[in-house]
Amino acid sequence: MLDLKFVRENPEAVKQNIRNKFQDSKLGLVDEVIELDVKNRAVKKEADDLRAGKNKIAKQIGSLMGQGKKEEAEALKKQVAENAARLAWLEEQEKELGEKIVSIMMRIPNIIDPSVPIGRDDSENVEVQKYGEPAVPDFEIPYHTDIMERFNGIDLDSARKVAGNGFYYLMGDIARLHSAVIAYARDFMIGRGFTYCVPPFMIRSNVVTGVMSFAEMDAMMYKIEGEDLYLIGTSEHSMIGKFIDTVLPEAELPKTLTSYSPCFRKEKGAHGIEERGVYRIHQFEKQEMIVVCKPQDSPMWFDKLWQNTVDLFRSLDIPVRTLECCSGDLADLKVKSVDVEAWSPRQKKYFEVGSCSNLGDAQARRLKIRVNGEDGKYFAHTLNNTVVAPPRMLIAFLENNLEADGSVRIPEPLRPYMGGMERLTVQKA
């Protein structure tokens, strides 16, 4: 959410930002919120004047009564009553106008970073850099669920009976590999100075609206019936929410946390063959990282965060690339975002395995996460990034470490988490 003063003083810049995000239907919101702000400030001024005059009139009444001027005193008492009724009306107007302003402000997108490429959707995202040599072996690589089935590692049919489409049972060595990747990612991030955390897996509605846009909320979140609770779509939600309505001493920044959680997502809409299996699902697990920092430090932390993901994937011999998300692909709260994509030897292309975002002070402004600095209080900046999210990451892992005989090589850093195993061996043809 933007600063209302900034919108008031820079309406054309806010409108151009909306155009850059190809959201022209929102242009009218800028003039609408400015008009409401003018009304709200006029109402507030009148209300403040009435409150300020209340004590002054009370003293005048006391003085008149002391002088025996009852008629004049009674006239002032009538004025006090009229002022009280007017003040009550003004206070109700303040509340209504304030709520309308906040509602509109939460729909106006954040100002994107000048470095963000202008584009309509993810097809116009820009490749930044490749890491590792993408290779295509001289043998056929099966679809990822077929690889898992060779190890008796997945049961989609039973999952459909139990929970429906978009769920899975991981079994045996594949399930162990899944847990090993999460554990390795956890220790990888602890080794980089992040504090490990297991957060709540449900959050209240005020946290949901504090960390994401209404469009994201509708597309992602599962609501708990009869409760003011939502299942988290990512642990970033509850991790940023941890700091709601707090004032952090500047000396304690940055806050660098890495968190494990299951994630739950609606994933609306139909998807192609490449997004079936365990690629696009309603439930998965993830290791996340978040940073709460001073505004001037957020660009530096942004680069550190996506680099962590690149380094982790490269340590497991998975080639990756980074993509700069264009303006139209940025969610409304984001200032800048980079996707990390892993190489798929089967598809002969890259696919998304993580996303790193700088949200500026948008989440902090909504959740009232402030910093107490030398020159007063200010809003913190927040950032988040996926460390690793199996089982999607398992697709990249299995394809890139598959051998001609059907076995899967276990890279050395992962072996301690797999009981020393060097490879997974096929259990059925």
Contact 356, 385 (CB under 8 A): yes
Closest CA to 351 of 384, 321, 328: 321
Q: Which residues contact 22 (CB under 8 A, 6 or more apart)?
A: 120, 327, 328
Bridge partners, 291 (sequence order): 256, 383
What's residue 274's pLDDT? 56
Q: Band of the pLDDT at 162, cuts 50, 70, 90?
A: very high
Q: In a 3-state reduction of DSSP, which class is residue 287?
A: strand
* In the chain, % of residues over pLDDT 90: 83
Tens of pLDDT along 221-263? 999 999 999 999 999 999 999 999 999 999 999 999 999 999 9
What's residue 58's pLDDT? 65
The sign of the CA dihedral 216, 219, 221, 227 is: positive
Which class is 122-424 in CATH? Answer: alpha beta
Residue type, 97: L
For domain 4-105, the question of CATH label 1.10.150.20 is answered with: no
Tens of pLDDT along 305-363? 999 999 999 999 999 999 999 999 999 999 999 999 999 999 999 999 999 999 999 99
Q: Band of the pLDDT at 161, cuts 50, 70, 90?
A: very high
What's residue 73's pLDDT? 65
Give the C-alpha distances (Å, rounded to integers) separating 302 from 114, 305, 390, 411. 15, 5, 22, 28
Tens of pLDDT along 15-45? 999 999 999 999 999 999 999 999 999 999 9
Q: Band of the pLDDT at 428, cuts 50, 70, 90?
A: confident
Domain ranges in the chain?
4-105, 122-424
Tens of pLDDT along 405-421? 999 999 999 999 999 99
Q: Band of the pLDDT at 297, cuts 50, 70, 90?
A: very high
User: CA angle at residue 383 from 382 to 385, to 5 degrees?
Assistant: 155
CA–CA gap between residue 40 and residue 98 (Å, rounded): 7
CA–CA gap between residue 420 and residue 413 (Å, rounded): 10
